[in-house]
Amino acid sequence: MIVNLRDDFAKAWEGQDPFSKVSELTGEIYRDVKGRRTLRFEFAQQRFFAKIHGGVGWAEIIKNLLTLKMPVLGAENEWCAIAKLRSLGLATMTAVGFGSLGGNPATRQSFILTEALEETVSLEEYCASWPRHKPNYAIKRRLIEELARISKVLHDNGVCHRDYYLCHFLLHEEAAFSAGQIATPCLSLIDLHRALIRRKLPMRWIVKDVAGLYFSALHIGLNRHDFLRFVRLYSGKSLRESFDKNAEFWQQVHARAMQLDRKINSG
């Protein structure tokens, strides 16, 4: 059994089984699927999230492997990913507890506790009105610049989110940023339970992330210049050099994004 709790939780749960304490938590259920439950709860007058993983079973593991997907076996993946992002200076959740019980990957029990990110809005929500109400140019540009920077830092350092969509970026201090009082938006990247960390990412994983982000931004009123700005900033090269040297990469990104769009929006 592995348990790592912040001092306040460790003191409150001293002498008790942390897995029992986590299973007894009550609050608003955000997700309840086979093998994983996510809820928001209160502790010491502060809000937290708990992700509780049960064993996924060998059938699920084998199914994922046969379809060339990396199975998520528990909360350790997210615990490590949060630490990695923080080491890279990227904003994300604050983990306050982690536990893992059992050696069998199919039946392993685990949990992760994180502070709730309060007073934030997802970029999906923030940009939802843009097709009807054209956003301020500086606001749009600053968000694109920050998304390109975050993406480059992640991928240059071997991190693939695997669910890389606008809905997983939370914008802090929305009103102040929208009023132009904050030059660089603070974006926290969340939902890291599927994140992949490698010394060097294969191109297909990078394509998956960038295409996911591109797909999620297809219908928010961006224009060709906006997408090209991202390409230039993300690649760190001129557009000519980026498309000359990385043509295959950007072709795959475009094709995958269009495929996702057809799949989600067909009919």
List residues with catalytic annotation: 163
Helix or strand or coil: residue 71? coil
Report the amino acid identity of residue 253. V
Radius of gyration, CA atoms only, the chain: 20
What does DSSP say about strands 120-122 and 159-160: parallel, antiparallel, or unpaired? unpaired
Measured between alpha carbons, how far is residue 66 from residues 62, 71, 196 in Å? 6, 10, 18
Report the amino acid identity of residue 223. N
Sheet holding 28-33, edge to edge: 2-5, 95-101, 109-115, 46-53, 36-43, 28-33
DSSP E strand stretches across the chain: 2-5, 28-33, 36-43, 46-53, 95-101, 109-115, 120-122, 159-160, 169-172, 187-189, 196-197
Report the amino acid identity of residue 136. N
